Amino acid sequence: MAGLACAAYLFGGLALSFRFFKGEGRAARLLLGGVWATVFCAMLPALWAFLWGFTAQANLCAAGTALALGAACLPWGRFGRTRGLVRFGRLSRREVPLLMTVGLLCAVVFILTFTHVLRPDAAGALHSGQSTYGDMAMHLAFITSLAETGRFPPVYPLLAGEVPIGYPFLCETNSAGLYALGMNLRLSYILPMLLAMGCVFLGAYLLFRRMARGDARKAVLSTVLFFVGGGFGFAYFLDLLRSDPGNFTRIFTAFYETPTNYTSHNVLWVNPICDLLIPQRATLFGWAVLFACLYLLYRAAFEGKTRYFYPLGILAGCLPLIHTHSFLALGIISFVLFLRAAAKGRCRWGALKPWLAYGALALCLALPQLFAFTFRQSSAEGFLRLHLNWANTQDEYLWFYIKNIGLTFLLLIPAFLHADARNRWFYLAGLPILILCEFVVFQPNTYDNNKLLYIWHLLGCGIVGILLVDVYDRLRGIRGRVYIAALTLTALCLSGVLTLGREAVSDYELFSAASVKAADFARENTPPTARFLAADNHNNAIASLAGRSILCGSGSYLYFHGVDYAEAHAALRQLYEQPTNELLEQWGIDYVLIGAYERGGYAVEEDFYARGFPVVYDDGQGTLIYDVRIRAVG
- Per-residue model confidence (pLDDT) at position 382: 59
DSSP label at residue 254: S
Any idea what the Cα angle at residue 53 is, between residues 52 and 59, rounded to 5°? Answer: 80
- Per-residue model confidence (pLDDT) at position 525: 97
**Is 557 within the bounds of a domain?**
yes
Tell me: cis bond preceding 432? Omega within 30 of 0 counts.
no
* Cα dihedral 35, 134, 158, 178 in deg (nearest 10): 30
- Per-residue model confidence (pLDDT) at position 258: 95
pTM of the model: 0.95
* Residue 517 structural domain: 513-627
**Is 434 within the bounds of a domain?**
no
- Per-residue model confidence (pLDDT) at position 380: 58
Asked if 228 and 496 touch (Cβ cutoff 8 Å), the reply is: yes
**Is 524 within the bounds of a domain?**
yes
- Per-residue model confidence (pLDDT) at position 88: 53
Sheet of strand 126-128: strand arrangement: 119-120, 126-128, 508-511
**Is 550 within the bounds of a domain?**
yes
**Is 278 within the bounds of a domain?**
no
The DSSP H or E segment spanning 508 is strand 508-511
**Is 124 within the bounds of a domain?**
no
- DSSP readout, 96-149? HHHHHHHHHHHHHHHHHHHHHSSEE-TTS-EEE-TTHHHHHHHHHHHHHHHHHH
- Per-residue model confidence (pLDDT) at position 63: 97
- Per-residue model confidence (pLDDT) at position 381: 60
- Per-residue model confidence (pLDDT) at position 111: 96
* Cα dihedral 447, 451, 456, 461 in deg (nearest 10): 100
Kindly give the pairing relationship between strand 508-511 and strand 549-550. Answer: unpaired
Sheet of strand 615-618: strand arrangement: 549-550, 531-533, 591-594, 624-627, 615-618
CA atoms within 13 A on the CB side of 54: 30
Tens-place pLDDT, residues 37-65: 999 999 999 999 999 999 999 999 999 99
Is residue 262 classed as helix, strand or coil in its secondary structure?
strand
**Is 422 within the bounds of a domain?**
no
The DSSP H or E segment spanning 126 is strand 126-128
- Per-residue model confidence (pLDDT) at position 485: 96
Residue 410 amino acid letter: L
- Per-residue model confidence (pLDDT) at position 362: 98
Asked if 108 and 273 touch (Cβ cutoff 8 Å), the reply is: yes
- Per-residue model confidence (pLDDT) at position 80: 44
Between the alpha carbon of residue 491 and those of residues 225, 396, 456, 480, the distances in Å are: 11, 22, 21, 17
Tens-place pLDDT, residues 258-312: 999 999 999 999 999 999 999 999 999 999 999 999 999 999 999 999 999 999 9
Separation CA 337–CA 348 (nearest Å): 15
Counting the structural domains of the chain, the total is 1
Stretches in the chain below the pLDDT threshold 70: 76-91, 240, 346, 377-382, 631-634
**Is 58 within the bounds of a domain?**
no
